[in-house]
Structure 1
Amino acid sequence: MVMRLFCCLLLLSAMPSWAATKLEASVDKNPVLAGEFFMLNISVDDTIKSEQPDTSVLLKDFVVGPTSLSTRTNIINGSINKQTTWSVKLMTRNEGEYTIPAFTVAGLSSQPIKLKVAKRAADADKNNDIFLKTELSNNSLFVQEAGVYTIKLYLAKELLDGSLSTPSMEDAQLTQLGKQTESYELVDGKRYLVITREYLLQPQKSGVYTIVGPTFQGRVQQNYRQLEVSALGDDQQLEIKPIPANYKGAWLPSELVNIDEQWQPEENTVEVGTPITRTITLTALGVTKEQLPEINMNTIEGIRSYPDDVETNNAVRNGRVVSQQTASFALLPQKAGTYTLPEITVPWYNTKMQRISYATLPKRTITVTGGAQANTQPLANTNSAAPNEPNLQPATADNLAASTPPFQPAQDKTPLWLVIVAVLGYILWIITAIFYWLSRSTKNEPKNTSVSVNKAQPLSLSALKNAAKTNNLNAFYNELNEVAIKLTGKKVAAINTLIHNINNDELAAQVNRLQSALYANSSASIDLNAIINMIEQHQAQRTKSQQAVLKDLY
């Protein structure tokens, strides 16, 4: 027993201490081609699980792929070697001399690596088994005008797996449209599987920008081998034009805007009480459905209007974004007469002609006739006609003489069961009326008054004021939109509706300056506090009027 313990202590004393002593960084190829992926390996002679090298410093010069971790333990002739390796895929788009900086792990540092990147040949992608093509619908856009950016990945080999990066551009939103599609094409006699993705591009500021092309890395099957492949999409320059200074109203840049309507029934002459369905459709090219202004119809005295739900959608047609908004209104004429529905006009900026244009729905005149029911006069005496007679007429001596001879006895007697049913129906009607009156009295109790009082309370503008203190124009505009939605109840073009309701030229001017500063790089001075003050005054007047209404209710 003592001998065994002694041997164990001897073995433990002979074993090395497993503390990290060396950190090394290396690449699997040097030089590399521009657009070609290579592997960076960072290794330490120990098992490290709590730390990892900071690879964020590589983002300045390289496209950085995912990092994988591997550990290994070797025992050779009683000697134990441990190793932890971090592997990172890298790629750079441009030729030149680069330096991969030193990394630090477990108190150890690696040596920097000098990397040479050679120019990619102009015909490098010709006759290749994999390459990328990119296309932009228009090389010049206005601020907030929607463009379509298309990526096509061509594969001549069987794809096992891969990763296609998302394109990027400063001061712009890039959103994938739908799902990617797959098709086949013949290029120079070679058959390719083509994977296509479309992105919605919406620039937010004017200037000259570059769309950074996508990159692809993956594995393909060639005979019985698996090959690592990569491809690089070209960068594209794009000019973003500012909002013209003379444009006023909701900004709607488009190549084409159209508004039309449908009526049911189609006739321009209807009778009183006949329901009319009016469906208005607004279609715009080169904008998103969120940019479409809300369609409103003016109130016509003598015709009740009931708006239906608004439907919006967008799609891509021939490389262009097409958006559409459909609004339906139910019209119910209340009295006879001739009515003219005013025209509906939507201003927009024609990006092809570079001028302000208008989509107009012309006015329409309809004639409402009295109808048969409208000409019917109330009966002077309901007992002058037989109960079952379908056509009731005013009781006169002539028609009484024509319908029934004087002093002629009744030919038919009312059945007893019909009388019983009528009496029971009358009793049920009385009971129903009593319950309706009781329920209506309960609903009119003072508990609803508290709800009305709460609605009269002004909306909090604290978030708007905080954004004004920090002079954060983006945050202020977003909060202003939220306030406008709550005050107007409109989800589309809420700010414009609020400006219309307040009807203050100074407010409209300040908001226009704010929009110009955000979307047109304007340097005009903006008084954010003045906007807040005008909204507070509007709320105060609104609250005062609501309280006056509540006072009248009491």
Structure 2
Amino acid sequence: MVTRLLGSVILLITMMPVWAVDQLSASVDKNPVLVGEYFTLTIEANGKVSGQMPDTSALSAQFVTSPVSTSSRTSIVNGSMSSTTSWQMQLLSRKAGEFTIPSFEVAGHQSRPIKLKVLARDQDSEAQQNIFIKTELKPDTLHVQQAALFTVKLYLGQDLLDGQLSAPQMQDAQIAQLGKQSEDYEIVNGRRYMVVTREYLVQPQKSGTFTLEPPIFNGQIREGYRRMAVSAVADSFEVEVKPIPDTYAGAWLPSELVNLSEEWQPNEQTVTVGTPITRTLTLTALGITKEQLPDIQVPDVDGFRTYPDETDRKQMTRDGRVISQLIASYALLPQTPGTYTLPEIKVPWFNTVINKVQYATLPSRTIEVKADPNQVSVAPASVVNAPQQTATQAEPHIVTQPADKTWLDWALIASGYVLWFITLLVWFITRQSAKVAPTQSDSAPQTPNEAQAIKQLKHAAQHSDPGQCYQALKALARAQGYDHIHAWRHQLSHELQNEIAKLQGALYSAKQENVDLSVLYQLIAAQHKQVKNAKKQHLEPLY
């Protein structure tokens, strides 16, 4: 038995080198086919194939092609061995007409070319009424890098078992799906359809005239007890793409509408030295992506320290248009009294409706900065030498300011020391309470995000890490329902606002600010404890 098996193996080994391809054929499973309907091309070689495969690259010029799958089989009948290798791929034509699938070559053998007929779809056919696609492109005339919204709606009038909707294609363009598809129902000509909607962002990268090929649907439906293949395809779009004008200078911003607005907190024309101001700039543009929005350059102003705060970019779709926003916040800290004019800000953009360069502008703004009444600077007493006196006079005559002026200065100084003592006392009591009962604040209900942010703030303060401390403050602001730290900061006490402004200075200013992170943490913890205690007092009893 062993001898016979060994002999068979030796026979197989000796026979293998004589196998060779003796025939190559190509065939399709459908002919004719409909526009947008997938069909299968099979190339088959009889005989041994050693790592070879047919070149199918020429097919992509006429058809939409899928990857090639390879399979092989070997059979022995009455001691005679045969081998077959097959290559299969899915093809689809977007246009009607007569096409020729070329011949293929493997190991010196060639297949015969195939004449294929592609038929146009009958718009009134029952199949077209059961499943069809509608598309819309807004706007349909574009400039280079201008973003258009391509909306695809697949209407299904029958129960779908499975299906595949391909992506649109366009030469020299970036195409990306926006979000996930949505499903809804519509009534068309008295018939109820399930509608699958997808939105695509189309951005051409070169000028010229291009064809936007729409998605193609292929799937299977149940009709009675049978599974039936169905397909649908929409009409293609001819898109004209205009070039960037030679006269345009600056960051290229093609849009139908651009707006630049600002918000001030506090929104006052007169402020006090040391009072932090938050300036929030919002740049909104239609028909471009959020990545295309340029950074807004805010000029420095003598007498102010400017600290960049948060920057946020958003993108959405409304009424068939892409809308993008850039929200940039800056903290301004006035240093010296006076009247200051903040210069205007201009952002150039190209109006694609009137083909003209325009500017989104913020006008200049005048701000008056007053001295802080709590920072009293006492004028030194004037010393005047008396005339030459007799030898018996030992001391010079000292002439001081009037009595009422001296009394006012000393009153201001005393009030300043009283305020300073009260602040120090509150801080000391808060700190001692935190040391004695560190877990007391955790006993009240709070969201996990708030607790995590305060814990992160404490850890950053203990390790003297300003960057992590600022990130913890932003997390705490979000946990309390604020999108930006500047909106949350203006709900805090004046003392906390100043400490946060110092932290921003330590992070962003060329001249480093001195900030005590432990004081900042204690103030935040004290305020958080007060808010929770107030909530506990207003809770109604539970029954």
TM-score under structure 1 length normalisation = 0.63
Partner of 1:543: none
CA offset at residue 229 of structure 1? 2.4
Q: Deviations over 1:94-118 (max 9, x none)?
A: 2322211111224422111122223
Per-residue Cα deviation, 1:447-495 (whole angstroms, up to 9, x for no partner): xxxxxxxxxxxxxxxxxxxxxxxxxxxxxxxxxxxxxxxxxxxxxxxxx
SS at match of 2:145: coil
Counterpart of 1:105 in structure 2 is: 106
CA distance in 1 between counterparts of 2:14 and 2:305 reads 98
Q: Which moved more, 1:208-217 or 1:118-127?
A: 118-127
Q: Contact between 1:379 and 1:395, CA under 8 Å: does it hold in 2?
A: no
Query: Where does residue 144 of structure 1 map in the other structure?
Result: 145
- Aligned mates of 1:362, 1:279 — CA distance in 2: 14
CA contact (8 A) 2:35 2:119 kept: yes
Q: Could you tell which deviates more after superposition, 162-171 or 46-55?
A: 46-55
1:266 to partner: Cα distance: 1.3
Cα 1:67/1:162, change in 2 over 3 Å = farther
Instruction: Give, in whole Å, the separation in 2 of the partners of 1:256 and 1:5.
Output: 82
Q: 1:318: which partner in 2? A: 319
Q: CA deviation at 1:306?
A: 1.0
Which residue in the other structure is 2:85 paired with?
A: 84
Give 1:10 deviation, angstroms: 13
3-state SS, counterpart of residue 248 of structure 1: coil
Task: State the secondary structure of the residue aligned to 1:111.
Answer: coil
User: Cα offset for 1:353?
Assistant: 2.7
Name structure 1 gaps, 5 residues minimum: 381-393, 404-554
- Counterparts in 2 of 1:197-208, with a 5 A limit? 197-208=198-209
What is the CA distance between 1:277 and its match in structure 2? Answer: 0.6
Aligned residues of 2:20 and 2:49 also touching (Cα < 8 A): no
Question: What is the count of residue pairs matched by the alignment?
Answer: 390
Q: Contact 1:169–1:209 (CA<8 Å) still a contact in 2?
A: yes
Inter-partner Cα distance in structure 2 for 1:15 and 1:49: 15
The superposition leaves residues 103-135 of structure 1 with CA deviations (integer Å, 9 ceiling, x where unpaired) of 122442211112222333343476533222221
Match of 1:186 in 2: 187
Supply the distance in 2 between the matched residues of 1:6 and 1:74 (Cα, whole angstroms). Answer: 19
The residue correspondences of 1:361-372 to structure 2 (distance < 5 A) are 361-372=362-373
Residues 96, 85 of structure 1: alpha-carbon distance in 2 compared, 3 angstrom cutoff: same
State the partner residue of 1:238.
239
* CA shift digits 1:169-227 (9 cap, x unpaired): 22222122222222222333333332222111112222222112222223333343332
Q: Specify the code of the residue in structure 2 equivalent to 1:373.
A: N
Kindly provide the CA deviation profile for residues 256-307 of structure 1, in whole angstroms up to 9, marking residues without a partner as x.
Answer: 1111111111121111111111111111111112222221222111111111
Q: CA RMSD in A?
A: 3.5
The answer to whether the aligner puts 1:338 opposite 2:339 as a matched pair is: yes
Query: Which residue type is aligned with residue 252 of structure 1?
Result: L
Which stretches in structure 2 are left out of the alignment for 5+ residues?
Answer: 382-400, 412-543
Amino acid of the structure 1 residue aligned with 2:259: N
Letter in 2 for 1:165: S
Q: Does 1:252 align with 2:253?
A: yes
Identity rate, percent = 54
- Secondary structure at the residue paired with 1:371? coil
2:529 — aligned with what?
A: none
Q: CA contact under 8 A between 1:272 and 1:374: conserved in structure 2?
A: no
* Aligned-partner Cα distance in 2 for 1:364–1:3: 103
Give the corresponding residue for 1:157.
158
Q: How does 1:131-530 map to 2 (within 5 A)?
A: 131-377=132-378
Contact 2:122 2:128 in 1 (8 A): no
Distance (Å, rounded) in 2 between the aligned partners of 1:281 and 1:4: 86
1:56 maps to what in 2?
A: 57
Amino acid at match of 2:217: F
SS of the residue 1:243 aligns to: coil
Give the letter for the 2:209 counterpart. V
User: How far, CA to CA, are the matches of 2:63 and 2:166 in structure 1?
Assistant: 14
- Alpha-carbon distance in structure 2 between the residues aligned to 1:251 and 1:58: 38
SS in 1 for 2:66: strand
Q: Structure 1 residues 26, 60: closer, same or farther in 2, change over 3 A?
A: same
- 1:377/1:98 CA distance change after superposition, 3 Å: same
The answer to whether the aligner puts 1:37 opposite 2:38 as a matched pair is yes
Counterpart of 2:307 in 1: which secondary structure?
A: strand
Q: 1:318 to 1:2 in 2, by over 3 A?
A: closer
Contact 2:35 2:118 in 1 (8 A): yes
Q: TM-score, normalization: structure 2?
A: 0.64
Q: Which amino acid aligns with 1:283?
A: T
Q: Which residue identity is paired with 2:257?
A: L
The 3-state SS of whatever aligns with 2:52 is: coil
Shift of 1:399: 5.6
AA at the equivalent of 1:42: I
Using a 3 Å threshold, how does the CA distance of structure 1 residues 318 and 6 change in structure 2: closer, same or farther? Answer: closer
1-10 or 164-173, which moves further after superposition?
Answer: 1-10
- Letter of the structure 2 residue corresponding to residue 271 of structure 1: T
Change (3 A) 1:30 1:261: same
Residues 302 and 7 (structure 1 numbering): CA distance in 2 closer, same or farther, change over 3 Å?
Answer: closer
Matching residue's letter, 2:144: V
Instruction: Give 1:172's aligned amino acid.
Output: A
| Partner Cα distance (2:299, 2:69) in 1 | 64
1:221/1:73 Cα in 2 relative to 1: closer, same or farther (>3 Å)?
Answer: farther
The code of the aligned residue for 1:189 comes to: G
CA contact (8 A) 2:47 2:84 kept: yes
- Offset, 1:9: 11
Give the secondary-structure state (helix, strand or coil) at the position aligned to 2:68: strand
CA deviations 1:422-467 (Å, max 9, x no partner) are xxxxxxxxxxxxxxxxxxxxxxxxxxxxxxxxxxxxxxxxxxxxxx
